Amino acid sequence: MTQERWQQLVQWPLLGAATIFLVDYAWKVLADVQGEPGLILTFVLEAAWSVFLLDYLMNLVLAPQHWLWFRTHLFDLLVVVLPVLRSLRLLRLVTALSVFPRSPGTAVRSRVGIYVTTATVLLVFLASLAVLDAERRAPGANITSFGNALWWTFVTIATVGYGDFTPVTIEGRLIAVALMLGGIALVGVVTATLASWIVDRVAELTRDQGAGK
Amino acid sequence: MTQERWQQLVQWPLLGAATIFLVDYAWKVLADVQGEPGLILTFVLEAAWSVFLLDYLMNLVLAPQHWLWFRTHLFDLLVVVLPVLRSLRLLRLVTALSVFPRSPGTAVRSRVGIYVTTATVLLVFLASLAVLDAERRAPGANITSFGNALWWTFVTIATVGYGDFTPVTIEGRLIAVALMLGGIALVGVVTATLASWIVDRVAELTRDQGAGK
Amino acid sequence: MTQERWQQLVQWPLLGAATIFLVDYAWKVLADVQGEPGLILTFVLEAAWSVFLLDYLMNLVLAPQHWLWFRTHLFDLLVVVLPVLRSLRLLRLVTALSVFPRSPGTAVRSRVGIYVTTATVLLVFLASLAVLDAERRAPGANITSFGNALWWTFVTIATVGYGDFTPVTIEGRLIAVALMLGGIALVGVVTATLASWIVDRVAELTRDQGAGK
Amino acid sequence: MTQERWQQLVQWPLLGAATIFLVDYAWKVLADVQGEPGLILTFVLEAAWSVFLLDYLMNLVLAPQHWLWFRTHLFDLLVVVLPVLRSLRLLRLVTALSVFPRSPGTAVRSRVGIYVTTATVLLVFLASLAVLDAERRAPGANITSFGNALWWTFVTIATVGYGDFTPVTIEGRLIAVALMLGGIALVGVVTATLASWIVDRVAELTRDQGAGK
């Protein structure tokens, strides 16, 4: 079997696994499911995760040059380790709502805008679930409700950092570091998109003035 | 009636409604008007808001392609939901103070600068009113005077976030999230404008050196 | 007398007034001078300030078109209101250490870098003095030594905002807002300069590859 | 001896000194080595540092124009004063993992990305060690374990600044200021790299459309 054949085959199963992962995780954390039902939800979560792991390993095996594929797909490795990122596959559904490309600049910027907005919403939602899951029962923790977890996530990703809620567990702090990186990337993408827009506007105006002479 | 005819017709009424909205809201919150006078001010506020709603619906109905207009005017929908944004209509008055466009780059950057400054001032003022309105009587809240609300707004929009004042109500936190988004956009616009200026300066110097040879 | 003649005439007196302003203010605040010696230092401070005011008024009077000069020199008005900015005149001494312009891009970026570094150092120093002066004797204030004032200034301009020290007076908070604006501008200038450098590096590499073929 | 000959000669000794510096410092701080073993580690640390100092002085002496070399190598002076930066020499090992340069833009951005990632990791690790070393025994300090020091470093470099941990010593605060500058540079580099990528993507799409016509 070729790598391309495999990728075509698993496209929909991966999207399904991502959706199951998201719904299952949200359910488990929000309803604070414990005991036997909790074990079942954890099992489904791990099953969905194993689909991503299988896909990564199959891609590595089927690639013509294993080492080259490994080096050029470090992000895919990260996705296996942090299944939160895999939910970004759901972005494909969003981009189906294709945009109105008046110019190449507008097309690129619209696409970037849609990706960033959706990725930010997913990241905020999943990080809120994860931090609540990590902190909820920790001694001395103050992030103990989903409302506060969501509020803390926004305060962190915007790099505001009031400090009214802070994680105390190692898991919670790792999520915080991921959110901070996300926040830096978010500021970067917003700024870069605006810079590209201003540069285009200036170029357009220069062209119009040249034509008007 | 065509859509253009409608837009010409409502231009001034909308500007009036935005002004009434701003003054009425500031009065209600700053003077902490309650009882019957408070109800009257709330009624006027809602009347001003209904003008924006009517304008949105009329535009949707009069547009030749309803769905296309809806998709390309998502910002207008946001404006109806968050009337704070409608005050940005007042920007039109500011841009009447037209600038001195020495070059297309300067013209675009001056225009961006004026818009951003005015929008930031309006956003800071309205968010301070809104957060004071939301937090004032909440148990455990510390944003209870306009001075502190204004200070908190600046600390939040600059993404500094000391944490000496923090919102505790859901309304207050939604305003905070809007301010954070505003802050990210503000940093982005300032940086993008500066980048455009530096790129232009370098290009200018390169041209001068080429001509001097 | 023409405006140019006036500007030539006052160039050195203004630089002197800026230096006196800086030294006098630092002395007054750091040594916490009070009583009669404090009054003398305040008098000298106001004398130095009046030189800036006189220069502004003379420029306005001598300008061929008063209103045009006023509109295009809003920054100079700000400088009169906030004499802190006038210390930026000292930047002229720094730029005498002229740089090594290998290319127009490097020349512009070096110049921007030197200006930004010097302006940031001056802003941090003067804001620390000003906030200490404003907060020192305020009830409930915690910025009561120059060391803490300097630490708070860095935390604010970098938009970190720990919240271990926060201003409580209106003057202190106005200085904080000025620092936040300075911080946003600082991030903007650093980013824009780096962006210009990366764009130049890419263009250079593209050119080299083209020539190598 | 020429300057080039010297630089070739010391290339590997400097890399060795940087590695010894890093390992020795981490060992001393993490194991909290005191008494006689602590003195030995401090001695080795200072020996490694003196290699950097010697290299700087030799370069200054061997340079054909001393003053020109001094002026154009201010960063090297900083490296001698702050040996933390010298660890950045280890970056050379990383860049040996050379990348896959599809286009000049991708090549520059990959290189910038690798440098920034490695420099950030080194900076975070060394700053955590340094702040722990400075604060550990200070009265009233709360950064007293490596876990908390690492968490504080991330919170500071991302300019989030919760304020749950803050330095109280002058050394700790100097490290904080260095981290803040690092954070501003980090945001700047990420944004600039993204901006360069978006500009390239737009240019590429414009070219493709032009060719398609």
Q: How confident is the model at residue C124 (pLDDT cuts 50, 70, 90)?
A: very high
- The C-alpha atoms of residue C126 and residue A98 are separated, in whole angstroms, by 52
Tell the residue number behind the tokens 């769905």, with chain if given. Answer: B67
| Residue C8 distance to chain D (closest CA, Å) | 32
Enumerate residues 6+ apart whose C-beta is below 8 A from A208. none
Most confident of B151-165, C96-110, D181-195: B151-165
Q: What pLDDT does residue B101 have?
A: 53
Out of C6-20, C67-81, D174-188, which region has the weakest mean confidence (pLDDT)? Answer: C67-81
Chain A with chain C: Cβ pairs closer than 8 A:
9
Count CA atoms within 13 Å of residue D8 on its CB side: 5
| Interchain CB contact of D185 with C (< 8 Å) | yes
pLDDT of residue D56: 87
Same domain, yes or no: A82 and A106: no
The answer to whether A212 touches C212, Cβ cutoff 8 Å, is: no
B163 and B211: one domain?
Answer: yes
Q: Residue C189 above 60 pLDDT?
A: yes
Same domain, C81 and C6: yes
Q: Please name which of D179, B164, A157 lies closest in space to residue C161, comparing C-alpha atoms.
A: B164
Residue A59 lies in a domain: yes
- Which H/E stretch holds residue C122? helix C104-135
User: pLDDT tens, A18-68?
Assistant: 888 888 989 999 999 888 999 999 899 888 888 888 888 998 899 888 888
Question: In which band, very low, low, confident or very high, does the pLDDT at C45 lie, cut at 50, 70 and 90?
Answer: confident
Q: Are residues D23 and D125 in the same domain?
A: no
Q: What is the pLDDT of residues D87-143, one digit of tens each?
A: 666 665 555 554 455 577 777 787 788 888 888 888 899 899 999 999 998 999 999
Q: Is A187 on the interface with B (CB under 8 A)?
A: yes
D98 touches chain A (CB under 8 A): no
Where a domain ends, among B52, B86, B120? B86
Contacts of B207 in chain A (CB under 8 A): none
Which residue in chain B has the smallest CA separation from A97?
Answer: B71
Domain match, D121 and D146 both: yes
Query: Chain B contact for A195, CB < 8 A?
Result: yes
Chain A contact for C197 (CB, 8 A cutoff):
no
Identify which of C158, C190, C202 has the shortest CB distance to residue D104.
Answer: C202
How many domains does the structure of chain A reveal? 2
Q: Does D209 touch chain A (CB under 8 A)?
A: yes
DSSP string, chain D: --HHHHHHHHHHHHHHHHHHHHHHHHHHHHTT--HHHHHHHHHHHHHHHHHHHHHHHHHHHHSSSHHHHHHHTHHHHHHHH-HHHHGGGGHHHHHTS----SSHHHHHHHHHHHHHHHHHHHHHHHHHHHHHHHHTTSTT----SHHHHHHHHHHHHTT----SS---SHHHHHHHHHHHHHHHHHHHHHHHHHHHHHHHHHHHHHHHHHHH-
Which one, of B113, B44, B52, lies nearest residue B78 by Cα? B52
C131 with C28, same domain: the answer is: no
- Alpha helices by DSSP H, listed for B31-169, are 35-62, 66-72, 74-81, 83-86, 91-95, 104-135, 146-157
Residue C60 clears pLDDT 80, i.e. is over it: yes
Is the distance from CB of A202 to CB of A177 less than 8 angstroms?
no
CA C87, CA C70: separation in Å to the nearest integer? 21
Give the pLDDT confidence score for residue C213 in this predicted structure: 44
The minimal CB distance from D159 to the residues C160, C201, C202 is found for: C160
Provide the pLDDT for residue B159.
Answer: 92
Looking at the fold, whether C179 and C80 belong to one and the same domain comes out as no
When mean pLDDT is compared across A116-120, A160-164, A180-184, C176-180, the lowest value belongs to A116-120
Sorting pLDDT into bands at 50, 70 and 90, what band is C147? very high
Q: Are residues D102 and D201 in the same domain?
A: yes
Residue B93 lies in a domain: no
Structure tokens at C147: 């060391």
Print burial letters for D56-81: b (CB count within 10 Å at least 16), e (below 16). bebbbebeeeeeebeeeeeebeebbe
Residue D182 lies in a domain: yes
From its phi and psi, is residue D211 left (phi > 0), alpha (psi between -120 and 50) or beta? alpha
A158 falls in which pLDDT band (50, 70, 90)?
Answer: very high
Q: Can you give the pLDDT at residue B213?
A: 43
pLDDT in tens, D202-211: 887 777 776 5
Q: Are B190 and C188 in contact (CB under 8 A)?
A: yes
Q: D60 vs D5, D72, D77, CA distance in Å?
A: 14, 11, 10
Q: Do A195 and B192 touch (CB under 8 A)?
A: yes
Q: Assess D159–B contact: CB distance below 8 Å, yes or no.
A: yes
| Torsional class of A165: left (φ above 0), alpha (ψ -120 to 50), beta (otherwise) | beta
The answer to whether residues D174 and D131 touch, using CB atoms and an 8 Å cutoff, is: no
- Report chain D residues whose CB lies below 8 A from the CB of C142: none
Final residue in a domain of this structure, among C86, C119, C153: C86
CB atoms closer than 10 angstroms to residue B203: 14
| Cβ-defined contact of A158 to B181 (cutoff 8 Å) | yes
Helix (H, G, I), strand (E, B), or coil: what is residue A90? Answer: helix
Q: CB of B199 within 8 Å of any CB in chain A? A: yes
Q: How far is D161 from chain B (nearest CA, A)?
A: 8
Can you list the residues of chain B whose pLDDT is less than 50?
96, 98-99, 213
On whether both C82 and C104 belong to a single domain, the answer is no
The reply to whether C6 and C77 lie within a common domain is: yes
Q: Which chain A residues touch D206 with a CB distance below 8 Å?
A: 104-105
Q: Tell me if C91 is assigned to some domain.
A: no
Q: Which residue of A has its CA nearest to D190?
A: A188
Q: Is A121 exposed, middle or buried (0-12, 13-18, 19+ CB in 10 A)?
A: exposed
**CATH code of the domain covering residue A131:** 1.10.287.70
Structural domain range at position C29: 1-86
Q: Are residues A107 and A209 in the same domain?
A: yes
Domain boundary among B54, B86, B118: B86
Q: What is the value of pTM for the model shown?
A: 0.88
A17–chain B nearest CA distance, Å: 30
Report the gap between the CA of C101 and the closest CA in chain A (Å): 25
Say which of C160, C187, C205 has its CB closest to residue D161: C160
Question: Is B199 near chain D, with CB under 8 Å?
Answer: no
